[in-house]
A = this chain, B = another copy of it.
Amino acid sequence: MALIDAVKFDGKGLVTAVAQDFETNQVLMVAYMNRDTLAETLSSGDMVYWSRSRQKRWKKGETSGHVQKVREAYIDCDGDALLFRIDQSVAACHENYFSCFFRQNVGGEWKVVAEKME
């Protein structure tokens, strides 16, 4: 597939994927895809990652229901990062925050600056 041929996977066969909420523009999470889960993401329209810790396919929301639907996909200049603008169901973070980036540097400390989703 021409789209995937442009991707420069790293030594472990992975590419960095950034998920950004289509509606709010919030950056939700950073994770990784291998060739197969990228192909599945592009063909299915659902975000499917590769879990580095569990070393297995990880369809976002498969157990939680917090799926991510692809609206737009971008590749960066050197082909080693992808940006997906998505529709996020409920929350991206497993800690139930909308974004995994819920801690901000406030006066030299990481402070929680978001509220958990219901």
Task: Tell me the A residues contacting B by CB distance below 8 Å.
Answer: 1-3, 6, 16, 18, 20, 25, 27, 29-30, 42, 72-78, 81, 83, 93-95, 97, 100-105, 108-110
Contacts and interface: CB of A to CB of B under 8 A. Distances in A.
Contacts of A1: 108
Contact of A104 (B29, B73, B94, B101): B73
Q: Within the oligomer, what is the number of copies of this chain?
A: 2
B100 A76 contact: yes
A42 B78 CA distance: 26
Contacts of A75: 101, 103, 105, 110
Nearest to A74: B101
A17 B25 CA distance: 17
